[in-house]
Amino acid sequence: MFGFLNVYKPKGKTSHDVVAILRRITKVKQIGHTGTLDPFAEGVLPICIGKATRLIEYLDDDKAYIGTIKLGESTTTYDIEGQTINISNKMVKKDEIETALKDFQGEIEQIPPIYSAIKVNGKKLYEYAREGKDVEIKPRKVTISELKLLDFDEEKKILKLYISCSKGTYIRSIANDLGEKLGTYGHLTMLVRVKAGMFDIETAKKLEDIDTKEKIQKNIKNPLEYLNYPKQELQDNQIQKIKNGMEINFPSDNCNIFIITYKSEIAAVGSCKDGIFKPSKVFL
């Protein structure tokens, strides 16, 4: 098996759980995912099968989510799985939320949650948190390309956001920081990833719909559909050189990432410079 699979990760399972299930069904060990989702979250989880795992680094990193936030309460993890640590009775108006959201758009600095897998001095942040140890968490730059209020129940203090963002953005931190911006508290109660690069929720397959090797094979996609780089077909007399990882003469503009195809399948990924293609990964 070789290719990409767009899977809908259900709530309650980890991204690693999904990979383990697919390995058990296909008997293929070489399976990986892009972009971890927390157990309470659900939605699009791109899966790479076989040698396609070597293409993970070339996939688009931008993500899109629909997040549900409860105002008036903050938790240790910034989401519904944590312990409540602060409560506020303040009522917030819709126009206040829309005004506050403007400060979260574009390139912003975000402090990741203490309960996250980011490493500081070789140790994951959540390990410090579980040990009750303080650690300095440095802010990171992320980009929020779109942030839209979809719904707000003023009485229940529950709002729903659409967030389109760069890799590494913590939606939990947006929930917590938005609450503080509004002079109250907030935490994430539900999260659905609706897009990951070119993978979208409309075409994502639920695990129960791909519960056999044959069904998985049927739904595997050609990686060329999801790799947005210049491509060109390989000539028959160049195949052996590419198989051996050798450079070939190739009439093309200079390009850091270029894909060579053969019979509509990916043959190699590399770079082009001054009419020479240099392969870095070969799939023939």
Together in a domain, 156 and 95: yes
Together in a domain, 191 and 202: no
Task: Kindly report, residue by residue over 11-28, the tens digit of the pLDDT.
Answer: 999 999 999 999 999 999
CA 123 to chain centre: 22
Together in a domain, 217 and 237: no
Together in a domain, 243 and 260: yes
* Residues assigned a catalytic role: 38
Write out the two tokens for 12: 């309650």
Domain that holds residue 278: 231-282
Together in a domain, 186 and 211: no
Q: What's 139's domain CATH number?
A: 3.30.2350.10
Q: What's 259's domain CATH number?
A: 2.30.130.60
**Structural domain count, the chain:** 3
Together in a domain, 10 and 98: no
Q: What is the pTM of this model?
A: 0.91
**Beta bridge partners of residue 232, listed in sequence order:** 260
Task: Kindly report, residue by residue over 53-99, the tens digit of the pLDDT.
Answer: 999 999 998 999 999 999 999 999 999 999 999 999 999 999 999 99
Together in a domain, 251 and 212: no
Residue appearing with tokens 């506050």: 100
